[in-house]
Chains A and B, each alone.
Chain A
Amino acid sequence: GAGVSQSPSNKVTEKGKDVELRCDPISGHTALYWYRQRLGQGLEFLIYFQGNSAPDKSGLPSDRFSAERTGESVSTLTIQRTQQEDSAVYLCASSPDGSSYEQYFGPGTRLTVT
């Protein structure tokens, strides 16, 4: 079946602009995760959804970052007033239930802030 998809695959934006990144999880997966991978670094957890609720937002780096999920399906990560340090690959993952033991990752969105 189809895996996790993310769009766009690449996004170049000017500093100060807002961006929206989209994640389509595997159908039927109730849990959805966002991570960030900056150049030369590991993956940082951003936020976790169980259904449409976000019980763990602890990784969002600032109030410029927000995310929502609707219909227990698609999720959107929004970054307002982008800064150069926001440049990274943003990865989405989904899992069948609330456990993080079986996370399936999408290909990522490469965000470049100029």
Chain B
Amino acid sequence: AQSVTQLDSQVPVFEEAPVELRCNYSSSVSVYLFWYVQYPNQGLQLLLKYLSGSTLVESINGFEAEFNKSQTSFHLRKPSVHISDTAEYFCAVTNTDKLIFGTGTRLQVFP
């Protein structure tokens, strides 16, 4: 069975500061990893994914995540955040037919 741990339930940062949202997973088999974002009053959207190949994956809005197999992590980073990045971020894993989600991290960006 797989599980996902997002240790930080809330991360407050000022605009233009860097941010890292942590995600660790547990699995006895190879997995695929995802970050989803849920903006206020909106549905869940895929932000980025790791399926294979390069361990560093990027999104179109400046986020990146690196798959680290030895540390079983898939942390999400952005070098300079914007107010519009305020949202709930969910890490997820799968190797079969369903996604297993973490409990989410609320990123609050202040001006």
Q: B20: shortest Cβ distance to chain A, in Å?
A: 19
Size bin of chain A's contact surface: 20 to 34
Q: B59: shortest Cβ distance to chain A, in Å?
A: 15
| Cross-chain contact A45 with B43 (CB below 8 angstroms) | no
Determine if B42 is an interface residue (Cβ-Cβ < 8 Å). Answer: yes
| Cross-chain contact B90 with A42 (CB below 8 angstroms) | yes
Task: Say yes or no: A59-B44 contact (C-beta < 8 A), given A42-B90, A42-B103, A101-B32.
Answer: no
Task: Give bound CA distance, A45 to B43, whole Å.
Answer: 16
Q: State how many residues of chain B have any CB contact under 8 Å with chain A.
A: 23
Task: Give bound CA distance, A59 to B104, whole Å.
Answer: 19
Task: Say yes or no: A45-B99 contact (C-beta < 8 A), given A101-B51, A106-B43, A107-B43.
Answer: yes
A interface with B by C-beta (< 8 Å): 31, 33, 35, 40-45, 48, 50, 55-56, 59, 91, 93, 98, 100-108
B interface with A by C-beta (< 8 Å): 4, 6, 32, 36, 42-46, 49, 51, 90, 92, 94, 96-104
A to B CB contacts below 8 Å, 26 in the list = A33-B98, A35-B99, A35-B101, A40-B103, A41-B103, A42-B4, A42-B6, A42-B90, A42-B101, A42-B103, A43-B44, A43-B99, A43-B101, A48-B98, A56-B97, A56-B98, A59-B98, A91-B44, A100-B97, A101-B32, A101-B51, A101-B94, A103-B99, A105-B44, A107-B42, A108-B43
